[in-house]
Structure 1
């Protein structure tokens, strides 16, 4: 009987885990659709939800004539639940990755914004991470800003609500 209960509990946990991964993938897909700036097709902004870690990737691809000018470099840093990386190669002119652990995120907000080049309104989601220094001498903070190219506030509010659910689930 105990074995049967253990198997049932493991199956339920596995099903819940699969459902969470599926909803996280759907959320990331929706974010990625809305972060795509139609005015800048050579630039990609993506969100990656990997368990309790959030990564924002900003990538600008080289145009056809730039391959000969490529400078290859890669630098990265990972410490205390936050990470960043910068790289360039023959296909990518510039790539920046910023990551945070959801357990260290202290606030999720959104606000209207204006693209001054196109005079187009959109929303910006801000993910703020704060961490107290180990010696207690202060705090370290990081803010990720995600553009949402929509003028519909309900869409921005719903995405922030879903991100908040992920944050709470990961905060334990």
Structure 2
């Protein structure tokens, strides 16, 4: 009987995770579309939603096949957050920033303006806070995601969807 209950529980858990996967995939696709700056060819910003971890990737590609830099890669992962920096023959600069949704304390959006084009867009801010080791306060990290749209409803909807993912991971 215990085995049957365990198998039923595992089947229900896998069905629940299968239901959230398409939602996360659709949200990731939507985010990546909205974060693409119109007319930008050498720089990309991407989001990756994997389980209860969110990663932002900012990548600047090398143009015209220039291979002047030496390859390097540095990364760090600790206490639910991670970062990595890399460069090689194809990528001039890549920065990855990641956080666990359970540590995100707020999700907000605000209007912003592109310095190059003067175009308006919205920026989503994902804030993570953790108590400092010495107990003197908190350490915080804020990821900023550009949403190249002038429609506030789109920004609000994306933040609401991200908030749903955050709540699911906090349970």
TM-score range with shorter-chain normalisation? over 0.9
Q: Does 1:168 align with 2:167?
A: yes
Deviation at 1:76, TM superposition (A): 0.9
Structural RMSD (CA): 1.4
Q: Distance in 1 between matches of 2:138 and 2:168?
A: 24
Query: Partner of 1:114 in structure 2?
Result: 113
Q: Does 1:159 align with 2:170?
A: no
Question: Could you tell me the TM-score, scaled by structure 1's length?
Answer: 0.94
User: CA offsets, 1:69-127, max 9 Å, x none?
Assistant: 12211111111111110010000000000001111111000001111211211100000
Q: Structure 2: which 5+ residue stretches go unaligned?
A: none
Aligned length in residues: 171
Contact between 2:65 and 2:90, CA under 8 Å: does it hold in 1?
A: no
Q: Distance in 2 between matches of 1:26 and 1:11?
A: 23
2:48 alignment partner, SS class: strand
Deviation at 1:2, TM superposition (A): 5.7
Q: Distance in 2 between matches of 1:98 and 1:28?
A: 15
Q: Distance in 1 between matches of 2:127 and 2:6?
A: 39
1:66 alignment partner, SS class: coil
Q: Structure 1: which 5+ residue stretches go unaligned?
A: none
User: CA offsets, 1:102-154, max 9 Å, x none?
Assistant: 11111000001111211211100000000002331221110000000011111
